[in-house]
Amino acid sequence: MPSLKQVFKAVAAGLVLFFICLPTAKGEVQPGLEMAPLRVAERAPSATGYIPPPMDLSHVRAIRPLRLPKGGLPSRFDWRDYGKVTPVRDQGSCGACWAFASVAALESRGLIREGTSWDLSEQSVLCCQDEAWIEDGCQGGWPFLALEVFARRGMKEEECQPYDPAVIPEEGCFGSCPAVGRAVSYRVITSDPASDIAAVKEAIYNRGPVVMAYHHDEGHMYPGAIYWWPDCPNEPNHLVLVVGWDDSVPHPDGLGSGAWIAKNSWGTGWGEDGYFYLCYGSGNQEEVGFFDYGPYDPGEMLLHYDEAGLVAAVGYGTETAWMAAVFHPTVDGLLERVEFWTTSPGSSYRILVQEGVFGSILHEQGGSCEEMGYYSIELSEAVEVRAGEPFTVAVRLTTPGYPYPLPAETQVPFLCDPPIQRGVTFSRPDEPSPWQDMAISGYNPCLRAVVERSSSPDHVFVSAYDERGNLLETDQVILQPGGKWVGFAEELFGGSLPPEAAWLKIEGEGPLMAHLVYGSRDGRLSAALPGRSSGEGEVVLPHVPEDPWWAGVIVFNPGSAPTEVLATCYDERGTALDDTALPLPPGGKWVGFVEELFGEGVPSECEWVRLQAASPFTAYGVLG
């Protein structure tokens, strides 16, 4: 049953679309954006989980020239024979096949490109999808959603956020997990693999395993782990990783042969050790795509207005249209790349970078995109940008034979509810036409700018004070943009922290982020968490807090088994005042203020808190 809010949004969208078509003051009809028909499927829990994306892909066919080896492609090929496929996983009852297949594709890509064996986190993909999407990741999805997480938050490893579907709705995204890479590409090879078998084979052979959508029904599994349903009338509901093919696999009707070698996500007890043969043309096969990645750079800043990512294709009824975004950087840096989706294969683009709001042109370049998908275009010459000074990125897209060249996010009832920001994104049908605010029509374009923060280092000064506030000594740490210094306090000051030091002040030339990391070096599993006070433009890390009400705590259990953390409050003499137990499930965490730990409130004499457990855990002081 739709909520009143959802109904209102649907009606309001209709009203907006109506009013923008009214004649202008000059008596001319202002051209309006038109959206390609959506294909919206219901998200619901299942043991499969693939949902066709809302943007209809039926026009996407393989047009890229095949790059075949001398002698042609073999009749059988399997990336497992080369050790380039990671172990089979089990998604359980969560509708997460879309995340598992996408993760598996990037894991194989890492093995092929670098010989790097990753175990990437499906949980991160499921928990880190943008809040613009109404349902959680277990209700199903498609590879576009996985790309968004990989591109915006990076590729995270399993050990930092392990898979546990029971906590997905509540767990949230672990932003502190380090990233091992960042997805910069997802390309749709075809939406009709039955007609483009050669193109799919070539992609697997030259680029690595691909994801493929089809409709799964156990009633169509045959002996030998063969899936055959040539005239399936149902929409795809499952996504798997295709690691190869075998043209000799017989079809159960005895009339044909040939199948994709598919890696499933239902554990090794299903099929043949988790694999099966998906006969060519069976199960209404549709979306076939592949991922690629680049290094994750913490010094990069991704500027964008499309929280949901690609939802729809829009245009003015012709193959060409312009989109633009005015960005407001918060740091100095270099604009190095422009990223966007293309809505059709065989596209071409022209990029303009302009000073201010549609000011003088600072950079211009063009190119082509063979496949429909997500592109990260490196600028031939980086453009300097300054904090607080806007700049504009405008892109002209041409999609031959397809009249919806612009990628966009929009609100879709019951599916996604992104905020549509006004006055920052624009479109026009051609170069002579004036720019129009896309938000008026209910859209933001999928257009992004990647800015590398200024390369000048920041000089950070660390000063030690005694308990009366007398300055004892000052040391200096030089941090590169995006860099960090981690160590024990006594490693500063030439390796000898003054014994009278009671607290440290940290000051920098630019914005700083500082964390206190507490623990022990005696082999015991414990962490002491005092508080912190802060002043404007500086960070003060006291040795003993004056006000424990400002000390917050994050406790995380990274293990695969439940644990219990004992929190004990001590006075300045080390006398235990009170304690409490925090039960944590696998991958669980507790976040709160210190006073929330001890029932009626933290004892007034409490000066520090010690956390102990029978198994390893992670604790952070949240200080302010």
Contact 260, 225 (CB under 8 A): no
Q: Which residues are catalytic?
A: 97, 238, 264
What pLDDT score was predicted for residue 54? 96
Please give, one letter per residue, the 3-state secondary structure of 29-87. Answer: ECCCCEECCECCCCCCCCCCCECCCCECCCCCCCCCCCCCCCCCCCCEEEHHHHCCCCC
Say what the pTM is.
Answer: 0.72
Q: Which of 378, 369, 374, 305 is nearest to 338 (CA)?
A: 378
Under DSSP, is residue 514 helix (H, G, I), strand (E, B) or coil? coil
* Torsion, Cα of 318, 320, 322, 323 (10° steps): 80
| Ranges of CATH 2.60.290.11 domains, the chain | 458-623
Q: What is the spatial distance between Cα 243 and Cα 80, in angstroms, rounded to a whole number?
A: 7
Q: And the tokens for 563?
A: 């644990």
| Sequence-distant (≥ 6) Cβ neighbours of residue 465 within 8 angstroms | 471, 472, 501, 502, 503, 504, 505
**Average pLDDT, stretch 517-544?**
38
What pLDDT score was predicted for residue 15? 28
Question: Which tens digits make up the pLDDT trace of 531-553?
Answer: 332 333 333 333 333 444 345 67
Residue showing tokens 């670098």: 114
**Average pLDDT, stretch 520-529?**
40
Instruction: Decide the pairing of beta strands 333-342 and 372-385.
Output: antiparallel
**Average pLDDT, stretch 443-456?**
91
pLDDT-based confidence at residue 235 (cuts at 50, 70, 90): very high
Fold of 4-30+297-453: Jelly Rolls (2.60.120)
Q: Which of 580, 566, 573, 581 is nearest to 606 (CA)?
A: 573
pLDDT > 70? residue 451: yes
How open is the CA angle 416-418-424, to the nearest 5 degrees? 150
Q: Which of 586, 603, 608, 495 is nearest to 160 (CA)?
A: 586
DSSP string for residues in 228-271: --TT--SPP-EEEEEEEEEEEEEPTTSS-EEEEEEE-SB-TTST
What pLDDT score was predicted for residue 624? 43
Question: Which tens digits make up the pLDDT trace of 80-132?
Answer: 999 999 999 999 999 999 999 999 999 999 999 999 999 999 999 999 999 99
pLDDT-based confidence at residue 3 (cuts at 50, 70, 90): very low
Specify burial of residue 80 (Cβ count, 10 A radius: 0-12, 13-18, 19+): middle
pLDDT-based confidence at residue 412 (cuts at 50, 70, 90): very high
Contact 539, 514 (CB under 8 A): yes
> What spatial distance separates the first Cα and last Cα of the chain, rounded to whole Å?
43
Q: What is the spatial distance between Cα 387 and Cα 390, in angstroms, rounded to a whole number?
A: 8
Please give the residue that has the higher pLDDT: either 257 or 505. Answer: 257
Question: Which tens digits make up the pLDDT trace of 194-220?
Answer: 999 999 999 999 999 999 999 999 999
Contact 181, 135 (CB under 8 A): no
**Average pLDDT, stretch 287-299?**
96
| Ranges of CATH 3.90.70.10 domains, the chain | 76-291
What pLDDT score was predicted for residue 435? 97
Question: Which tens digits make up the pLDDT trace of 347-376?
Answer: 999 999 999 999 999 999 999 999 999 999
Average of per-residue pLDDT values in the chain:
84
pLDDT > 50? residue 618: yes
Q: At what angle do helices 97-114 and 143-153 cross, to 10 degrees?
A: 60
Contact 44, 95 (CB under 8 A): yes
What pLDDT score was predicted for residue 470? 75
| Ranges of CATH 2.60.120.820 domains, the chain | 4-30+297-453
pLDDT > 80? residue 329: yes
Domain 458-623 class in CATH: mainly beta
pLDDT-based confidence at residue 511 (cuts at 50, 70, 90): low
Residue showing tokens 């392990």: 162
Fold of 76-291: Cathepsin B; Chain A (3.90.70)
pLDDT-based confidence at residue 475 (cuts at 50, 70, 90): confident
Contact 248, 74 (CB under 8 A): no
Question: Which tens digits make up the pLDDT trace of 4-62?
Answer: 233 323 333 332 222 223 223 333 334 689 999 999 776 655 679 999 999 999 999 99
pLDDT-based confidence at residue 500 (cuts at 50, 70, 90): confident
Please give the residue that has the higher pLDDT: either 450 or 483. Answer: 450
Contact 426, 437 (CB under 8 A): yes
What pLDDT score was predicted for residue 455? 66
pLDDT > 90? residue 429: yes
What pLDDT score was predicted for residue 65? 83
Q: What is the spatial distance between Cα 427 and Cα 444, in angstroms, rounded to a whole number?
A: 10
Count Cα neighbours of 367 within 13 Å in the Cβ-side half-sphere: 17
What pLDDT score was predicted for residue 497? 74
